[in-house]
């Protein structure tokens, strides 16, 4: 068991290094600068007592957008490049299990997304303190932390898409579609209620396959975390199951 | 020479049964999580309500971001004194965030205070009656906006009272609104004091005295914002004034 954990740890470290090799650091820095510039621009408007909420929403928007793009591009790229450069097949030949590769990919991507959340939280904290909104810090940071839930699911979805579709471009498109569908889940639920027959079955299936990101606005932090981990685990298990049975 | 492979969407080789198993796993897990989701989210979309509001409700959390973006656009239109643009953007903003008191109150203030002034500035030679009609029209529109589905929201009624006092300049109606607001749950204490003050300004001291006597028991002793001692002082002053005029107490 410990040997397996150690292999997973080494795999994660290796995959994270590969992700960083794709210039993710530059992307993170650009995003932080964009949040700072956006906050500076917002400062020009007279937003009164709502200013900290606007800053928080800006940081959350930036986090969700940049997180969806990081997940959509880095996740499939890690897997597809790993196959193209024969890295993953070599790892498998040297004793790594396929499930360990999937776990390594997931943890590497989630770590990146976690850094993104921390970066946004830090930038927002700096902006709020600099502009004299320190008392609003705690709720603002809670709001930004809630953005990690959708990213956890989208990250797992990107790995699943990479396993299923095999091509980086298609997997990226599918991941971005999942991120949009998660935001538009109320529309899917509405269409499911309104339709009938085969169409209703189709909408129902889609409703089950796609998470509802509205949960992260209404549910308590623990319930939202449980929901995010459950959906991400479901996608991760499906990815591991599929990868164990497909050709390389 | 190796012939190029034809493009195919299927880049991965797997048995069909594997895909069926994966889909089954995802659907079974999704079904279980869907039950959890329904318990955690608010009521699903319905066909009722304004079309714009339904559209924004469908976008979930994105509606808050859309409202913020629209509010910034409104600010830009407001700086350019573009009345039509501001009106359109205000409607969109409120449809995106109908529960936001900040957007609603500031939208009402733009309608009540700014837009009549813009029109007057554009037409300074128009008759005074026309200027007054613009001011009253703007105030009425703003009060209507604030009281839309207000229920017993004390904040909204207080804003309507303020608009009636400062934009409509109708002290009698404003006094009634402040009095009504003061009796609502969660109303700020100053609403009751302003109601009494407006009654005094209209020469209705006896009514102001009756109001303060009726209202005083509601004021907590340990809340400085209630200013109970100030109210007791005003009550005493009114009693003295009415007594000195020989009016019944």
Quick check: A213 and B59 CB within 8 A? no
Q: A233 to chain B: nearest residue by CA?
A: B29
Helix axis angle, A137-145 to A98-130, nearest 10°: 160
Identify the CA nearest to B148 among candidates B103, B198, B84, B210. B103
Quick check: A46 and B29 CB within 8 A? no
For residue B69, which phi and psi values (nearest 5 degrees)? -65, -45
Report how far residue B140's alpha carbon sits from residue B26's, in angstroms, rounded to the nearest whole number.
Answer: 55
Q: What is the pLDDT averaged over residues B202-228?
A: 89
Least confident of A77-86, B37-46, B200-209: B37-46
| End-to-end Cα, chain A, rounded Å | 26
**Could you write out the DSSP letters of every residue in A105-122?**
HHHHHHHHHHHHHHHHHH
Residue with tokens 């604030």: B146
Identify the CA nearest to A190 among candidates A180, A202, A203, A181. A203
Q: What is the pLDDT averaged over residues B136-151?
A: 93
Q: What is the pLDDT averaged over residues B231-235?
A: 90
Report how far residue A53's alpha carbon sits from residue A128's, in angstroms, rounded to the nearest whole number.
Answer: 10
List strand residue ranges (DSSP E) for chain B, in order.
Answer: none
pLDDT exceeds cutoff 70 at B48: no
CB B161 within 8 A of CB B181: yes
Q: What is the pLDDT averaged over residues A139-168?
A: 93
Quick check: B60 and A214 CB within 8 A? yes
Which pLDDT belongs to residue A47? 82
Residue with tokens 């091509």: A167
User: What would the pLDDT profile of B57-112 be if each residue is shown by its tens digit?
Assistant: 777 667 888 899 999 999 999 999 999 999 999 999 999 888 889 999 999 999 99
Which pLDDT belongs to residue B7? 45
pTM over 0.80: no
- Residue of B44 and B189 predicted with greater confidence: B189
Least confident of B7-16, B43-52, B223-232: B43-52
Instruction: Count Cα atoms within 13 angstroms, Cβ side, for A67.
Output: 33
Rg (CA), chain B: 29
Q: If residue A71 lies in a helix (H) or strand (E), which one and from where to where?
A: helix A51-84
- Residue of A237 and A1 predicted with greater confidence: A237
Report how far residue A139's alpha carbon sits from residue A136's, in angstroms, rounded to the nearest whole number.
Answer: 6
Q: Please, which residues 102-121 of chain B have a Cβ atom closer than 8 Å to chain A?
A: 102, 106
Which residues does A164 contact at the CB level (< 8 Å), separation at least 6?
A171, A239, A242, B12, B19, B22
Q: A235 to chain B: nearest residue by CA?
A: B26
Tokens for A105, please give them.
Answer: 């990919």
What is the distance in angstroms between the Cα of B236 and the nearest Cα belonging to chain A? 38
What is the maximum span of chain B, computed from C-alpha positions, in angstroms? 118
B132 pLDDT band, cuts 50/70/90, is: very high
Long-range contacts, stretch A23-28, CB < 8 angstroms, 24+ apart: A24/A70, A24/A74, A24/A112, A27/A66, A27/A70, A28/A115, A28/A116, A28/A119
Percent of chain B with pLDDT over 70: 90
User: What would the pLDDT profile of A158-192 be if each residue is shown by its tens digit?
Assistant: 999 999 998 889 999 999 999 999 988 888 888 88
Q: Please, which residues 178-207 of chain B have a Cβ atom closer than 8 Å to chain A?
A: none
Quick check: B25 and A238 CB within 8 A? yes
Quick check: A50 and B57 CB within 8 A? no
Average confidence score pLDDT of chain B: 87
What is the distance in angstroms between the Cα of A15 and the nearest Cα belonging to chain B? 22
Which of B20, B21, B22, B101 is the best residue to mutate to test the A interface, defined by the most A CB atoms within 10 Å of its own CB?
Answer: B22
Q: B100 to chain A: nearest residue by CA?
A: A50
Q: If residue B159 lies in a helix (H) or strand (E), which one and from where to where?
A: helix B154-166
Average confidence score pLDDT of chain A: 89
Q: B40 to chain A: nearest residue by CA?
A: A219
Tokens for A91, please give them.
Answer: 């790892």
Report how far residue A209's alpha carbon sits from residue B28's, in angstroms, rounded to the nearest whole number.
Answer: 9
Four-CA torsion B161, B162, B164, B169, nearest 10 degrees: 140
Residue B122: count other Cβ atoms within 10 Å of its Cβ. 10
Report how far residue A102's alpha carbon sits from residue A12's, in angstroms, rounded to the nearest whole number.
Answer: 10
User: What would the pLDDT profile of B10-27 be if each residue is shown by its tens digit?
Assistant: 567 788 888 899 999 999
CB A58 within 8 A of CB A123: no
SS3 B50: coil
Which residues does B46 contact at the CB level (< 8 Å), separation at least 6?
none
Four-CA torsion A222, A225, A226, A232, nearest 10 degrees: 180
Sign of the dihedral defined by the CA atoms of residues A148, A152, A153, A154, in that order? positive
CA angle (B208, B204, B140) in 5-degree steps: 90
Report how far residue A16's alpha carbon sits from residue A113's, in angstroms, rounded to the nearest whole number.
Answer: 11
The DSSP call for residue B245 is: T
CB A201 within 8 A of CB A175: no
Q: What is the pLDDT averaged over residues A143-162?
A: 95
């Amino acid at each position: 068991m410990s040997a397996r954990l150690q292999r997973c740890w080494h795999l994660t470290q290796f995959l994270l290094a590969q992700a960083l090799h794709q210039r993710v650091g530059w992307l993170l820095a650009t995003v932080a600068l964009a949040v700072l510039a956006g906050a500076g621009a917002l400062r020009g408007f007279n937003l009164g007592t709502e200013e900290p909420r606007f800053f928080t929403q800006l940081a959350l928007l930036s986090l969700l957008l940049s997180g969806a793009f990081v997940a959509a591009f880095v996740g499939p790229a890690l897997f597809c490049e790993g196959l193209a450069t024969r890295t993953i097949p070599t790892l498998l030949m040297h004793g790594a299990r396929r499930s360990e590769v999937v776990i390594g990919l997931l943890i590497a991507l989630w770590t990146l997304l976690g850094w993104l959340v921390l970066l946004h939280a830090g930038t927002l904290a700096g902006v709020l303190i600099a502009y004299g909104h320190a008392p609003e810090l705690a709720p603002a940071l809670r709001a930004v932390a809630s953005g990690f839930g959708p990213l956890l699911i989208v990250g797992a979805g990107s790995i699943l898409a990479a396993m299923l579709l095999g091509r980086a471009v298609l997997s990226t498109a599918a991941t971005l579609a999942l991120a949009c569908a998660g935001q538009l889940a109320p529309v899917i639920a509405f269409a499911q209620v309104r339709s009938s027959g085969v169409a209703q079955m189709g909408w129902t299936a889609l409703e089950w396959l796609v998470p509802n990101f509205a949960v992260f606005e209404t549910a308590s932090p623990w319930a939202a975390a449980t929901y995010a981990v459950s959906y991400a685990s479901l996608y991760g298990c499906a990815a591991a199951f599929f990868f164990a049975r497909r050709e390389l | 020479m190796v012939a190029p492979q034809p493009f195919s969407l299927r880049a991965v080789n797997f048995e069909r049964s594997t895909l069926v198993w994966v889909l089954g796993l995802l659907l079974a897990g999704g079904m279980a999580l869907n039950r959890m989701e329904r318990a955690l989210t608010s009521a699903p979309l319905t066909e009722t309500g304004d079309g714009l509001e339904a559209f924004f409700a469908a976008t979930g959390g994105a509606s808050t971001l859309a409202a913020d973006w629209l509010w910034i656009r409104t600010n830009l239109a407001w700086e350019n004194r573009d009345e039509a643009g501001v009106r359109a953007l205000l409607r969109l903003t409120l449809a995106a965030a109908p529960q936001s008191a900040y957007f609603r109150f500031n939208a009402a203030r733009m309608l009540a205070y700014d837009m009549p002034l813009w029109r007057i500035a554009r037409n300074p030679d128009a008759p005074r009656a026309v200027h007054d009609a613009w001011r009253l029209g703007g105030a009425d529109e703003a009060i209507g906006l604030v009281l839309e589905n207000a229920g017993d929201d004390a904040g909204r009624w207080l804003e309507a009272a303020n608009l009636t006092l400062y934009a409509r300049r109708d002290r009698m109606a404003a006094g009634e609104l402040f009095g009504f607001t003061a009796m609502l749950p969660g109303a700020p204490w100053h609403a009751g004091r302003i109601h009494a003050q407006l009654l005094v300004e209209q020469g209705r001291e006896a009514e102001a005295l009756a109001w303060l006597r009726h209202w005083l028991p509601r004021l907590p002793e340990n809340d400085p914002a209630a200013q109970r001692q100030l109210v007791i002082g005003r009550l005493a002053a009114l009693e003295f004034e009415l007594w000195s005029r020989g009016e019944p107490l």
